[in-house]
Chains A and B, each alone.
Chain A
Amino acid sequence: DGGITQSPKYLFRKEGQNVTLSCEQNLNHDAMYWYRQDPGQGLRLIYYSQIVNDFQKGDIAEGYSVSREKKESFPLTVTSAQKNPTAFYLCASSIDGYGRGSNQPQHFGDGTRLSIL
Chain B
Amino acid sequence: GEDVEQSLFLSVREGDSSVINCTYTDSSSTYLYWYKQEPGAGLQLLTYIFSNMDMKQDQRLTVLLNKKDKHLSLRIADTQTGDSAIYFCAEKAFNKFYFGSGTKLNVKP
Contact = CB atoms under 8 A, between A and B. Distances in A.
B2 to A, nearest CB: 11
B14 to A, nearest CB: 24
B50 A43 contact: no
Contacts of B92: 105
A57 to B, nearest CB: 13
A60 B102 CA distance: 19
Interface in A43-82: 43, 48, 50, 59
A42 B43 contact: no
Contacts of B96: 48
A42 B42 contact: no
Interface string B23-38: 0000000110101000
Nearest to A56: B96
Sort chain B's interface into a size bin.
Answer: 20 to 34
If over half of B's interface residues share one DSSP class (helix, strand or loop), that class is named, otherwise mixed; here it is strand
A17 interface: no
A109 B104 CA distance: 20
Given A41-B101, A96-B95, A105 B42 contact: no
Contacts of B97: 33, 94, 106
A111 interface: yes
18 contacts: A6-B42, A31-B95, A40-B8, A41-B102, A42-B88, A43-B43, A48-B96, A90-B42, A96-B95, A98-B95, A99-B95, A100-B95, A103-B30, A105-B31, A106-B97, A108-B35, A108-B44, A113-B40
State the 3 A-B residue pairs at the shortest beta-carbon distance, nearest first: A42-B101, A108-B42, A108-B43
